[in-house]
């Protein structure tokens, strides 16, 4: 009996030792791989400068020279010529488009601040996803997971809350964009700015959420793989499909078969598997919670269509029909007042303005 116990303890110790050494070996391999690309970069730091300098000609100084030599002539000419110029402008421009655009800079400011906020929120979600990845990878190697598990769920819940917030904000932005469209017309710059910002932000948000899904999915695969390994240690070979079935049905009675015969090894393996199972169940609940949001995002982005991201379609959306826009004659009025003929008339006949 004693001898058997000693043997078993030796077994466990050797097993742990082997695991540890193999793990460290693996870490070394991974680190080496990740370091290799850097080595390449270190080597070509000398040449980096040569190849990163873009081949462009800077001609700003030329322009300054040219403009300076013309400055005096220009200023002199402007004062005498401007009135006649403005007359000609008036005659030529009035027929087709004496248009002055409304000042919509407050609306623009709103759009920018809104998009800034949403952008910041999306960045925060990205940071959270990174944290979650780290948590998940830490969980794979450690046996006591109660604290880490709580954190994972907390991060997941946080991401969900933020995502809902961003979705609500995006819907607001969409509403604002519609309002701007009704107020200023669909070809106005503000409307187009709002639409473009909205499209790009929703695309970015979708990509972030898919990234989150990817993180959770890969963690799930890792858990599954670990369960498989643990099962092998116990002595039962299972395929991936069987593990899936077990997860879905929640049946774990496979382990109960040999529990008496295998002793400590099996029991530790069993506890590991139970923990993994719990982890997977939590994962599933997290993903289900976020599923609603995914559906909403999909709907959001699908409505816009994939073509919105091309610059060509964006530029071609403007059209020449500004005749429909509001015709305010501020500029024309100003020129009109400066009109020397009118000035002459005004002095003779006081005009009513």
Partner 1 sequence: ALFRCQKLCARTIQALQQQGSDRRERSQQTAVKMAPSGLKAVVGEKILNGVIKSVKKDGEWKVLIVDHMSMRILSSCCKMSDILAEGVTIVEDINKRREPISSLEAIYLISPVEKSVRALINDFKDAAFTYKAAHIFFTDTCPDGLFAEIGRSRVSKVVKTLKEINVAFLPYEAQVFSLDDPNSLYSFYSSKPNKDKDKIMENLAEQIATLCDTLKEYPAIRYRKGPEDNARLADEVYQRLTAHKADNPSMGEGADKARSQLLIVDRGFDPISPILHELTFQAMAYDLLDIKQDIYSYQTTGIGNSNDREVLLDEDDELWVQLRHMHIADVTKKVTELLRTFCESKRMCTDNANLKDLSQMLKKMPQYQKELSMYSTHLHLAEACMKKFKGSVDKLCEVEQDLAMGANAEGEPLKDAMKSIVPVLLNNEIGAYEKIRIILLYIFHKKKGIGEENLAKLIQHANIQADSNIITNLQNLGCNIIAGGRNAEQTLPERRERTESTYQLSRWAPIIKDVMENAIEDKLDRKQWPFISDPAPINTTQTAVSSARFGHWHKNKSPTEYRSGPRLIIFVIGGVSQSEMRSAYEVTRATDGKWEVLIGSSHILTPTSFLNDLKSLDQVPNPDS
The residues, any chain, with a CB within 8 Å of residue 246's CB and separated by 6 or more, are: 238, 252, 254
Least spacing, CB of residue 352 vs partner 1, in Å? 27
7, burial (CB in 10 Å: exposed 0-12, middle 13-18, buried 19+): exposed
- How far apart are CB 149 and partner 1 at their closest, in Å? 22
Q: Name which position in 2, 35, 57, 249 contacts partner 1 (CB under 8 A).
A: 57
- Residue 258 in the binding site for partner 1 (CB under 8 A): no
Total residues contacting partner 1 (rule CB under 8 A)?
Answer: 89
16 or 271: CB nearest partner 1:
16
Candidates 192, 224, 276, 286; binder of partner 1 (CB under 8 A) is 192
5, 31, 64, 257: residue in contact with partner 1 (rule CB under 8 A): 64
Cβ closest to partner 1, residue 40 vs residue 250: 40
Shorter beta-carbon distance to partner 1: residue 68 or 256: 68
Q: Are 234 and 269 in contact (CB under 8 A)?
A: yes
Three-state secondary structure readout of 146-184: HHHHHHHHHHHHHHHHHHHHHHHHHHHHHHHHHHHHHHH
- Tell me how far apart the alpha carbons of residues 149 and 155 are, in angstroms, rounded to a whole number: 10
The one among 5, 18, 88, 91 contacting partner 1 by CB under 8 A? 18
Dihedral pair phi/psi, residue 123, rounded to 5°:
-60, -40
Measured CA to CA, the distance from residue 190 to residue 180 in angstroms comes to: 7
- 144-173 residues near partner 1, rule: CB under 8 A: none
Cβ at position 344, least distance to partner 1 in Å: 24
Q: Does 199 bind partner 1 (CB under 8 A)?
A: yes
The total number of residues written for the chain in this structure: 353
Among 105, 144, 251, 347, the residue binding partner 1 under the rule CB under 8 A is: 105
Are the C-beta atoms of 290 and 66 separated by less than 8 Å? no
Kindly state whether residue 59 participates in binding partner 1, applying the rule CB under 8 A.
yes
CA gap 187, 191 in Å, rounded? 7
Asked if 74 touches partner 1 (CB under 8 A), the answer is: yes
Q: Min. distance of Cβ 348 from partner 1 in angstroms?
A: 29
- Residues 319 to 348: which contact partner 1 by CB under 8 A? 319-320, 322, 331
Question: Would you say 205 and 119 are in contact if contact means Cβ atoms under 8 Å apart?
Answer: no
Question: Smallest distance, Å, CB 205 to partner 1?
Answer: 12
Sign of CA dihedral 234, 238, 242, 244: positive
Interface positions, 27-56, toward partner 1 (CB under 8 A): 29-30, 33-34, 37, 39-41, 43-44, 47, 50-52, 54-56
For residues 230 and 269, the answer to whether their CB atoms sit within 8 Å is yes
266-325 positions binding partner 1, by CB under 8 A: 294-295, 297-299, 301-302, 305-312, 314-316, 318-320, 322
Could you give the CA distance from residue 89 to residue 82 in angstroms, rounded to a whole number? Answer: 10
Q: For the CB of residue 322, give the shortest distance to partner 1 in the complex, in Å.
A: 5
């Amino acid at each position: 009996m004693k001898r058997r116990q000693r043997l078993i303890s030796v077994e466990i110790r050797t097993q742990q030792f082997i695991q540890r050494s193999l793990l460290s070996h693996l870490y070394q391999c991974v680190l080496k791989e990740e370091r290799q690309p850097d080595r390449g970069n270190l080597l070509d730091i000398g040449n980096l400068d040569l190849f990163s300098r873009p081949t462009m000609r800077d001609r700003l100084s030329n322009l300054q020279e040219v403009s300076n030599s013309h400055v005096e002539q220009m200023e002199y000419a402007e004062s005498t010529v401007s009135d006649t110029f403005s007359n000609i402008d008036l005659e030529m421009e009035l027929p087709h488009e004496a248009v002055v655009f409304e000042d919509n800079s407050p609306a623009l400011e709103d759009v920018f601040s809104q998009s800034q906020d949403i952008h910041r929120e999306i960045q925060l979600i990205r940071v959270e996803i990174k944290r979650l990845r780290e948590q998940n990878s830490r969980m794979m190697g450690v046996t006591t997971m109660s604290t880490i598990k709580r954190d994972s769920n907390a991060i997941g819940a946080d991401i969900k809350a933020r995502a809902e917030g961003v979705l609500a904000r995006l819907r607001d932005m969409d509403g604002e964009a519609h309002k701007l469209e009704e107020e200023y017309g669909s070809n106005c710059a503000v409307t187009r700015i709002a639409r473009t910002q909205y499209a790009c932000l929703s695309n970015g948000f979708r990509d972030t959420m898919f990234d989150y899904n990817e993180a959770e999915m890969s963690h799930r695969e890792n858990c599954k793989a670990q369960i498989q390994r643990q099962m092998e240690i116990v002595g039962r070979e299972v395929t991936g499909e069987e593990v899936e079935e077990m997860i879905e049905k929640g049946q774990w009675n496979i382990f109960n078969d040999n529990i008496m015969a295998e002793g400590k090894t099996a029991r530790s393996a069993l506890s590991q598997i139970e923990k993994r199972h719990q982890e997977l169940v939590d994962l599933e609940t997290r993903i289900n919670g976020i599923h609603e949001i995914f559906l909403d995002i999909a709907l959001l982005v699908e409505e816009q269509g994939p073509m919105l991201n091309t610059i060509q379609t964006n530029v071609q959306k403007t059209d020449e029909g500004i005749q429909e826009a509001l015709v305010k004659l501020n500029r024309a009025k100003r020129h009109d007042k400066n009109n020397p003929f009118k000035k002459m008339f005004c002095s003779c006949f006081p005009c009513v303005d």
